[in-house]
Amino acid sequence: MILNRLSLVKMAMCGYTGILTVVVLILITATSISQCEIKINTHQLSMKINESQSFILTVTDLQQPDVEVRFHPEYKDRIAVSPSAITLSSDHEEYTITVEGIGIGKSLLTAHSTPNISIDGVFLTATIYRSKMIDILSVIIGWAYFAVWSVSFYPQIYTNYERKSVVGLDFDYLALNMVGYLSYTIFTIGMYYIPEIIMEYMKRYPRSLIPVTFNDIAFNIHGTIAIIVTIFQCFVYTRGNQKISITGAVILIAMGIAYFTSLLLVYFDNIHWIDFLYFCSYIKLLITLLKYIPQAYLNYKRKSTDGWSIGGVFLDLLGGLFSMLQMILDSHNYDDWVSVFGNPSKFGLGFFSIVFQFMFIAQHYILYRPTKHRDLIPTDYF
């Protein structure tokens, strides 16, 4: 009996030891695999049709040999990948992968591995264009409208300084523009610099790039500072009987309440900070639709454009035309008309802005030719 019990104890101990050994091996293997890092040197490729470009896949601390990685183009009629599959080995850290553009347009390239290990960072967007010259022209136009829009604030600042007056510059327009630029500055800085928001974006869109560049941040900060300077001029120069209208005040208060509500939702964990940033971007879009209306109506009521800089209008118009021209060129070159007609908000806002610039030009040169200074009528309109 005693021997039988000892045998049972030994068998149980052997069983527990075996199970423990298996668990330890699994943990060691899992730890080894988790330490492995697989990444690529770029997430974007741009090439002319029938041309090729390469990217480098780098493997670090691979503990499990013979891991096969297969590449999967989103559109096989647009890009071809060579090799379409590779076998990773612990003694080979870099692999060169070639992508050939066989059709015009964009295609996402992703990867999967066998056995399954983490390769979420292995993805890129390949863009295949018709003409290199059109591509270069598009880049030049992009920098042109960036520069034109950046300097478009200064004619109004100079006009105010020269006249020592802000009579004719609508305060509703100025206030809305300030809120719009502040909102988009918050959006761009948050998306570009705050790690928690970047991680949340990558979790939601694991195969997308952050939709903000440093140029976006610089442009919006510069615009915000320029508007602050203009607002300062409103305090030190003659402003007549101008003030923010009742309608403008109601709109600003409504936006303030919306902001406060969004922050409360973030505080009580109903939404994430990234959702608050998207709300900021939507406010910017809404203001872009609204901000020119008060100035156009003020010009109509005064029957004059005195005090409203026509130089800034021409620069805004030129920037808007360049922006839309770039969109059209890119759509033709990349066979991607969805960017124009599939995203009516972006195209529509640009078009809407251009229409207002033409309206201001008509008011200045046709309807209300420049005259001597006129007293401003009250702005409590609507």
Which tens digit of pLDDT belongs to each residue from 217-258? 999 999 999 999 999 999 999 999 999 999 999 999 999 999
The letter for the amino acid at 9 is V
The letter for the amino acid at 275 is D
Give the CA dihedral 188, 190, 191, 196, nearest 10 degrees.
Answer: 180
Take residue 80 and report the two structure tokens written for it.
Answer: 């071809």
DSSP strand E in the chain: where?
Answer: 37-40, 44-48, 52-60, 67-73, 79-82, 85-88, 94-101, 105-114, 124-129
- pTM listed for this prediction: 0.78
Which tens digit of pLDDT belongs to each residue from 164-223? 999 999 999 999 999 999 999 999 999 999 999 988 998 888 767 788 888 889 999 999
The letter for the amino acid at 191 is M
- Output DSSP code: residue 305: -
Take residue 124 and report the two structure tokens written for it.
Answer: 């890129």
Cα 105 off chain centre by = 21
Q: Where are the domains of the chain?
A: 37-129, 132-366
Contact in structure between 85 and 69 (CB atoms under 8 Å): yes
Task: Write down the pLDDT at residue 277.
Answer: 95
Take residue 57 and report the two structure tokens written for it.
Answer: 């896949």
Mean pLDDT within 60-81: 89
Contact in structure between 168 and 308 (CB atoms under 8 Å): yes
Contact in structure between 125 and 106 (CB atoms under 8 Å): yes
Which tens digit of pLDDT belongs to each residue from 298-313? 999 999 999 999 999 9
Homologous superfamily (CATH) of 37-129 is Immunoglobulins (2.60.40.10)
Residue 81 to residue 67: CA distance in whole angstroms: 18
